[in-house]
């Protein structure tokens, strides 16, 4: 998502710097992207893992450790040095977890500061809490949601402008009292990179792709596997099922069944993986914002089965360019239909690609972003 934005800005002739706060969670470091050679790039690694003692002690403060754990004094010093050495016109903060550094930015730069709201973060935690049957877990998640909400609502008017991905998020931000300019710009993708090759696609096959250190993803795929594992292994869902993504817990290996359910973990080439499978499932029960993986899946002409929440903000048409399923029965019926009707799947995928070409071309969206910058400056 950030990479596509940078590509678009570079193509428009802008000088771009990326100062990246890299989260270290035992993840494999990716190879350097050629895009990084076209910009000024600095990265700084931090470890955001938290101990049980820290989590418990946080209960006796008013702060949100979800936000606080992203603050690092070393990174703040790096920012300070960079801001004093460079004169920027626009500084864009990507998501709420980088917001703790707004203070050092304001003190050391005259640039206009744009906040790109990836979602309304406290709403994600509220929805997670609603899904929990355990009273303590529900109470704890509600506590986190309240603290994040307090932080988030105080934050919005501290920027010079806000970019939201969805109209729903814009409406929420306005309802919370934001008085600054807000524009809705959906996720854009570089369509030249998304080249479906159906000769390499296994039909029928089902897959999930997403990072499982994001709690809504983990919650959703656990719900899916708990509901459909038996149907995939011994029932009428005669299709292989693949799970891939970052930081998949070891206990997910228990779901693996030889020849039927595959727990891949992180894959070397995400687009190649997506191309090789035919039906994408997005069983998102909580969360917010716009899902990058759905936009990318649609660009790859995938037949996608998603909850309404998972497809939020995308101009979908159920049964035409996506299939919406909001409970176990609807998911089962949708999967059964898809794995038995290849023509239907292909048509859904073709329509999905058309939607992305019309509304999510990164070149168009980046021009609109640059126009928004200009209006702020």
pLDDT at 31 > cutoff 60: no
Return phi, psi of residue 324, to 5°: -100, 130
* Residue 359 neighbours by CB under 8 Å, 6+ apart: 186, 315
**Which of 3.20.20.70, 3.40.50.2000, 3.30.450.40, 3.90.870.10 would CATH assign to domain 2-188+362-376?**
3.40.50.2000
Give the Cβ contact number of residue 108 at 10 Å. 14
The pLDDT, as a whole number, for residue 27 is 39
pLDDT at 32 > cutoff 60: no
Average pLDDT over residues 354-358: 97
pTM of the model: 0.85
For the chain, give every domain's residue range. 2-188+362-376, 191-359
Question: Same fold for the domain at 2-188+362-376 and the one at 191-359?
Answer: yes
pLDDT digits (tens, 9 = 90+) for 42-88: 999 988 776 666 566 666 566 676 788 889 999 999 999 999 999 99
Return phi, psi of residue 92, to 5°: -110, 125
Average pLDDT over residues 212-221: 91
For 169, the token pair is: 């998020």
pLDDT digits (tens, 9 = 90+) for 100-151: 999 999 999 999 999 999 989 898 889 888 888 889 989 988 998 999 999 9
Separation of CA 271 from chain center: 16
CA–CA separation, 94 vs 16, rounded Å? 14
For 192, the token pair is: 């030249």
Shortest CA distance to 222 belongs to which of 251, 260, 257? Answer: 251
Report the topology of domain 191-359. Answer: Rossmann fold (3.40.50)
């Amino acid at each position: 998502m950030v990479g596509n934005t940078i590509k678009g800005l570079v193509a428009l002739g802008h000088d771009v710097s990326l100062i990246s706060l890299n989260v270290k969670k035992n993840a494999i470091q990716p190879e350097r992207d050629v895009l990084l050679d076209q910009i000024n790039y600095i990265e700084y690694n931090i470890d955001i893992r938290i101990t049980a003692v820290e989590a418990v002690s946080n209960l006796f403060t008013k702060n949100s450790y979800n936000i606080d754990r992203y603050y690092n004094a070393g990174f703040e010093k790096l920012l300070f040095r960079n801001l004093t050495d460079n004169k920027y016109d626009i500084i864009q903060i990507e998501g709420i977890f980088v917001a703790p550094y707004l203070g050092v930015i304001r003190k050391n730069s005259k640039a206009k500061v744009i906040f790109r709201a990836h979602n309304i973060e406290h709403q994600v935690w509220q929805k997670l809490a609603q899904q929990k049957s355990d009273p303590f877990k529900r109470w704890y998640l509600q506590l986190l949601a309240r603290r994040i909400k307090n932080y988030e609502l105080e934050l919005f008017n501290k920027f010079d402008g806000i970019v939201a991905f969805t109209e729903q998020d814009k409406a929420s931000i306005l309802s919370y009292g934001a008085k600054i300019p807000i524009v809705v710009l959906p996720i854009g993708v570089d369509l030249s990179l998304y080249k479906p090759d159906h000769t390499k696609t296994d039909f029928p096959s089902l897959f999930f792709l997403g990072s499982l250190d994001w709690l809504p993803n983990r919650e959703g795929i656990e719900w899916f596997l708990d509901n459909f594992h038996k149907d995939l292994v011994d029932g009428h869902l005669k299709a292989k099922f693949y799970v891939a993504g970052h930081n998949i817990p070891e206990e997910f290996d228990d779901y693996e069944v030889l020849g039927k359910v595959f727990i891949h973990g992180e894959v070397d080439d995400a687009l190649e993986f997506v191309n090789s499978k035919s039906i994408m499932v997005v069983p998102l029960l909580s969360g917010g914002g716009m899902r990058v993986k759905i936009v990318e899946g649609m660009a790859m002409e995938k037949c996608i089965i998603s909850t309404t929440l998972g497809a939020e903000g995308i101009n979908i048409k159920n049964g035409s360019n996506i299939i919406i399923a909001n409970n176990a029965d609807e998911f089962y019926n949708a999967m059964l239909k898809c794995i038995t009707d290849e023509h239907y799947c292909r048509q859904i995928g073709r329509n999905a690609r058309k939607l992305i070409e019309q509304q999510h071309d990164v070149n168009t969206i980046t021009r609109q972003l640059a126009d928004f910058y200009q209006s702020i400056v």
